[in-house]
Chains A and B, each alone.
Chain A
Amino acid sequence: MSGFAIVIMVIGLGIIAWLSARAKAARLMYSGGNASPPREGAPRPRSALHSLPSYHGWYVGLWVAVPALIFLSIWANIMPGLVTEKVLQDPAAMALPADPFTRSAILGEARSIAQGSAATAFDARANDLVEPYRAAQHFYSIGGAIIALLLAFTGGAYAFTRIRADFRARTRVERVVMMGLLIASLIAIVTTVGIVASLLWESIRFFTHVNPIDFLFGTKWSPQSAALGYGNENAFGAVPLFWGTIFIGAIIAMIVAIPLGLMSAIYLTQYAKPAARAWLKPILEVLAGVPTVVYGYFAALTIAPAMRDFAVWIGIPGASSESALAAGLVMGVMIIPFVSSMADDSITSVPQSMRDGSLAMGATTSETIRQVLIPAALPGVVGGVLLAVSRAIGETMIVVMAAGLAANLTLNPFASVTTVTTQIVQLLTGDQEFDSAKTLAAFALGLVLFVVTLLLNIVALQVVKRYREAYE
């Protein structure tokens, strides 16, 4: 019997339990000398039930379905192991070679044939194991189904006997609902904690190879030379990467994104006619959904060569076709909708009375914007900009395509610089063994990036929160 059929059966039982429990509770509703529903015109008697009949239904239904389903999901995970165990005790398995690799290959083939996903075995020894496999699988799936159904019946019976007029089924059901919501909200958090733990673990391994001080404050980045056996000393100084990240993401991109985003928000909130706003705002927001790889192409193929030609034309030395400027400009454009929509939100949340007050003093619209709206909206705008910075420094695709790989510590925007994210991609896509310092460096970089963006987000959310409190 397949697992799917069992799940359907358990759910079916749950529905039956729900219906019968509700019916039983409904019969209790007007008990106490008043077993029949009230007649027309007579004063309605108070229901004797603590909880509505459907809560009793849910209570019993959940008792039927939840334990059985939990058991089945555990069973589905441990059954393959139990099956293999049983097969190995079969006399036919005695003939298997001791080499674990061949052994598991033959077992795997036997399993495929037994489940019908393969017709013949590559290794003839697998054929002998097909029958024991089938038998074991049959045994355990039937066993699992019986246990699941027993659980469903026991749970149902236990819950069904508890239905009484004063039984507080609603409180129980609501507690289960609350647990479900709690689990849902914990999943994202637990996942994040797991990611951080794995980052930390690999980073610690990296720091056994390389001194953290050298990593955080060293100015020479050449993991390739370390990989070629020249030693780890002075090969993993990440300062050029941090500088490149800040130069592209926090400086050049923001020089583009902050003024343009702010100005577009001001236009959209203060000057645009409702019809124009109805068109422009969604278009701007759609831009935020363009895959970053598309921006990456644009940066690498269009902007970067143009920037190099421009630099050559005005005579700037060290111009590269993979410049910080090209990546930063395009990243800035990518961030515009983000800044604009945050600024838009904070400008529109400045109370209308503030705007009226200024206009009634005889201020023009632009005076009102500069002297009242922007100062009042500033904390929200700053919060939005910090969030935008944290997005920009974590952005990968544009810089991988347009920013180059040379870890230069330079102020020249036309020169090639590299970023943390670019280097992570480079380090992980090489053909190095996984536990070399070069590969592990990617995790240390990822950890730094994670910590920095986390701090930025915390500060930004605090700023935005404090600002919200001022007007509510």
Chain B
Amino acid sequence: MTETSSSALPKMTARDVNVFYGEKQAIKNVSIDVDNDHVTAFIGPSGCGKSTFLRTLNRMNDTVASARVEGEITLDGENIYNPSMDVVQLRARVGMVFQKPNPFPKSIYDNIVYGPRIHGLAGSKADLDIIVESSLRRAGLWEEVKDRLKDSGTALSGGQQQRLCIGRAIAVEPEVILMDEPCSALDPIATAKIEELIHELRGRYAIVIVTHNMQQAARVSQRTAFFHLGTLVEYGVTSEIFTNPREDRTKDYITGRYG
């Protein structure tokens, strides 16, 4: 992978995206490019649409009956809302980690192999064992759980559960990982571990993280997008957004004037 090719072609692009819940418009004319080797943070006050927009990137809004998406979102140049795009394939390529850790009520091992099994990524038990070890290692959880892979995933602590969910997402070798406020249910130590993990995963996967914690956005991301009232106010290099925002609204939010 060369620097020029990846920076020339954004991993995902959104053009004039509008999202409606019934009559209510949640996202207005958002256009954004998501880079391959950067962590992109979406920040903004509660209800600004950042999570809604994140969920359009792997079509999780399809599960909401009243939601309607307009505009174009591409993954490697292919429109993901095309009828020819299989949503199962899409979600295998664009993984997601949720706000609250949601391991399945199965063993740690079965949580990790869930995706590889449904996508037929492993031919044998040995393959699955390899996937489990490598995914848990990359999720920074292997040393803590290697002796109790048969224990239930729900018996882990909150931070461990969230890393298990990240490992579960990694296990299908996605190209993009979407994280929807992944640390909001965790204590500061668990949060630090997740942030460290995000650093390690950068470059291997395109990562988009929604957060309402601005220090977190500053710490983990290289690109930041500020959303307000369903619109994308400002998008740029994280250090510039935080030190020298172009828009007054961004500045007010970052300095804590509102939100």
A interface residue numbers (CB < 8 A to B): 273-274, 351, 353-364, 367, 371-372, 375-376, 470
Contact = CB atoms under 8 A, between A and B. Distances in A.
B95 to A, nearest CB: 7
Contacts of B65: 273-274
Given A354-B102, A372-B104, A360 B58 contact: yes
Nearest to B104: A372
Contacts of B165: 357
Contact of A362 (B89, B100, B102, B106): B89
B146 interface: no
A376 B104 contact: yes
Shortest Cβ-Cβ A-B pairs, 3 listed: A362-B91, A360-B96, A362-B92
Contacts of A375: 104-106
11 contacts: A351-B102, A355-B63, A356-B102, A358-B114, A360-B58, A361-B95, A361-B114, A362-B115, A371-B114, A372-B104, A376-B105
Given A375-B105, A470-B105, A359 B60 contact: yes
A358 B168 CA distance: 10
A367 to B, nearest CB: 5
Given A356-B60, A357-B98, A362 B104 contact: no
A362 B105 contact: no
B102 A357 contact: yes
Nearest to A361: B115
Given A360-B95, A361-B115, A362-B118, A353 B104 contact: no
B88 interface: yes
Contacts of B60: 356, 359-360
Contacts of A367: 118
Contact of A360 (B89, B91, B105, B106): B91
A353 B102 contact: yes
A362 B88 contact: yes
B198 interface: no
A351 B154 CA distance: 13
Contacts of A376: 104-105
Contacts of B88: 362-364
Nearest to B171: A361
A362 B90 CA distance: 7
B131 interface: no
B119 interface: yes
A357 B60 CA distance: 10
Nearest to B63: A359
A99 B172 CA distance: 96
Interface string B85-118: 0011111100110101011111000000011001
Contact of B168 (A274, A354, A361, A470): A361
Contacts of A357: 98, 102-104, 165, 168
Contacts of B119: 362
A357 B166 CA distance: 11
Contacts of B194: none
Determine the interface band of chain B, counting residues with CB < 8 A from chain A: 20 to 34
Contacts, number: 69
Majority secondary structure of chain A interface residues (helix, strand, loop or mixed):
helix
Given A362-B88, A362-B89, A362-B119, A356 B104 contact: no
Given A356-B60, A356-B63, A361 B102 contact: no
Contacts of B98: 353, 356-357, 360
A269 B79 CA distance: 31
A66 B111 CA distance: 64
Given A356-B60, A371-B104, 13 more contacts: A356-B63, A357-B98, A357-B102, A358-B114, A360-B58, A360-B91, A361-B115, A361-B118, A362-B91, A363-B114, A363-B115, A363-B118, A375-B106
B241 interface: no
Contact of A361 (B63, B106, B169): B169
Contacts of A371: 104, 114, 118
Interface string B48-65: 000000000010100101
A358 B63 contact: no
A361 B91 contact: yes
Nearest to B93: A362
Contact of B100 (A353, A364, A470): A353
A47 to B, nearest CB: 43
A367 B119 CA distance: 11
A389 B63 CA distance: 36
Interface in B161-182: 165, 168-169, 172
Contacts of B105: 354, 375-376, 470
B58 A358 contact: no
A62 to B, nearest CB: 51
A273 B58 CA distance: 23
A367 B95 CA distance: 17
A361 to B, nearest CB: 4
A435 B152 CA distance: 59
B250 to A, nearest CB: 30
A376 B106 CA distance: 9
A354 B104 CA distance: 6
A357 B104 CA distance: 8
B118 to A, nearest CB: 5
Contacts of B100: 353
A470 B104 CA distance: 12
A351 B114 CA distance: 18
A393 B187 CA distance: 52
A330 B118 CA distance: 39
Contacts of B89: 362
Contacts of A362: 87-92, 115, 118-119, 172
B71 to A, nearest CB: 21
A361 B118 CA distance: 9
A353 B102 CA distance: 6
A331 to B, nearest CB: 33
Nearest to B96: A360
A351 B98 CA distance: 13
A230 to B, nearest CB: 59
B96 to A, nearest CB: 4
Contacts of B58: 360
Contacts of A358: 104, 114
Contacts of A364: 88, 118
B52 to A, nearest CB: 14
A353 B165 CA distance: 12
A357 B90 CA distance: 15
B21 to A, nearest CB: 15
